[in-house]
Amino acid sequence: MRAFISYSHRDSGALERLHVHLANLQREGRIEAWYDREILAGDALDEEINKELNSADLFLLMVSPDFIASEYCVEREMQRALERHDAGEARVVPIIVEPCDWAGIPQLRKLKALPKDGLPISEWTNKNTAYLDIVQELRRIVDAGGAVMREHANEAIAPAQPQRGVPRFRIQRDFDEIDRSEYRDAAFATIRDYFRRAIGELDEIEGLRGRFVDRSEYSFGGTVVNRGLQNGTAHITVYRRSGRLMLADIYYSFDENAADNTANGGFNVSSDEYDQFLVKALEAIGNEPSRLNAEQAAEYLWNRFLEQAGITYA
């Protein structure tokens, strides 16, 4: 299936990630993706784009504020794609990259948008999970042979949370045991919340199931099932250090309901003269960063967890 990707050049980063995640479909010969970077030096731009607009079987619109603001994307590429969609000659799939007023465009509002429920890629806990959802849906489209996608309205998306400002100054300080304990507890809460949200998102993807369990105030667990593999089940139990047990400040086992005296790895709280952070414990450092904030630790652990179920991000 020949796919035309329409995007604003300001969203080239999202285009690159989509291209990476499409690698399997392209390797299998199911999708042949084309976008304007395929135009060679010396080629006539309009002529090449017109040829692809008139021959593509699938149109992927990478919708963002910059896409909507682009006259070329909307008035040229999107309108031609929608004409061919309405004529039954091709299919149009909006991919929502960032929060924007895409639902205010009547022709887009009537189409099923990706990722799931039109939630922008930028608002997913792990953006790779958003791309996985997109690729899984595109695989279904290809397997269905290009049948017309069911049309429906999408619910409004909540506005993104404001980003915290970057501090202007760094102040040296000494961190005591109370600081260490408070950082450990906050980091554990961040990792717990990350897993709760990420498992919920993954559970909505075709062929995957997820379950999150709050075990106590200092532990939680998760299970993921990859229905495409016979042994595609992964478990994890994560503990925050409590009492005298000193395995690590935060530690984990790839077992369901693992005992609190076992671990496959963990994180300890460390600090320099300015900041506190996490460092990996109970395992080889490898090529990973030597210091992690709580969000980075959560993503690192999430990716290791998914590997146990045969799920990897490109």
User: Which of 4-13, 179-188, 244-253 has the weakest average pLDDT?
Assistant: 244-253
The CATH number of whichever domain residue 40 belongs to comes to 3.40.50.10140
The stretch 90-102 carries a mean pLDDT of: 95
Q: Is residue 242 part of a domain?
A: yes
Q: Give the span between the Cα atoms of 271 and 290, in whole angstroms.
A: 12
Are 184 and 243 members of one domain?
yes
Count of CB atoms situated within 10 Å of the CB of 195: 22
Confirm whether 170 is domain-assigned: no
Question: Are 112 and 29 in a shared domain?
Answer: yes
Q: Domain check: are 236 and 302 in the same one?
A: yes
Q: Is residue 116 part of a domain?
A: yes
Separation between Cα atoms, residue 274 and residue 278, nearest integer Å: 14
Q: How many domains does the chain have?
A: 2
Burial class (CB in 10 A: 0-12, 13-18, 19+), 63: buried
Helices 177-202 & 294-307 angle (0-180, nearest 10): 40
Assess if residue 80 is contained within a domain.
yes
Q: What's the mean pLDDT in 184-203? A: 93
Whether residue 191 contacts residue 301, with contact meaning beta carbons closer than 8 Å, is answered with yes
Residue 171 lies in a domain: no
Instruction: Give the pLDDT score at 34.
Output: 87
pLDDT of residue 286: 55
Tokens describing residue 16: 């690159």
* pLDDT of 151 over the 80 cut: no
In a domain, 166, yes or no: no
Q: Looking at the structure, do residues 251 and 134 belong to the same domain, yes or no?
A: no
pLDDT band at 234 (very low <50, low <70, confident <90, very high): very high
The H helix count followed by the E strand count for the chain is 10, 10
Contact 252, 192 (CB under 8 A): no
Task: Give the mean pLDDT of the chain.
Answer: 85
Q: What are the CA-CA distances from residue 230 to residues 223, 235, 253, 306, 309 (Å)?
A: 15, 15, 22, 15, 10
> Do 203 and 267 fall into the same domain?
yes
> Are 9 and 130 in the same domain?
yes
User: CB atoms < 10 A from the CB of 4, how many?
Assistant: 25
- pTM higher than the cut 0.85: no
In tens, the pLDDT along 243-291 reads: 666 789 999 999 999 999 999 999 999 999 888 999 998 776 555 557 8
Q: Choose the final residue of a domain: 90, 123, 143.
A: 143
Tokens of residue 284, six digits:
């080889």
What is the C-alpha to C-alpha distance for residues 277 and 187, in angstroms, rounded to an integer? 9
Could you tell me if 196 and 69 lie in one domain? no
The larger pLDDT score, comparing residue 168 to residue 125, is at 125
Task: Single out the residue in 143, 165, 200 at which a domain terminates.
Answer: 143
Q: How confident is the model at residue 160 (pLDDT cuts 50, 70, 90)?
A: very low
Residue 29: is its pLDDT beyond 50? yes
State the residue range of the domain holding 201. 177-307
pLDDT top residue among 146 and 87 = 87
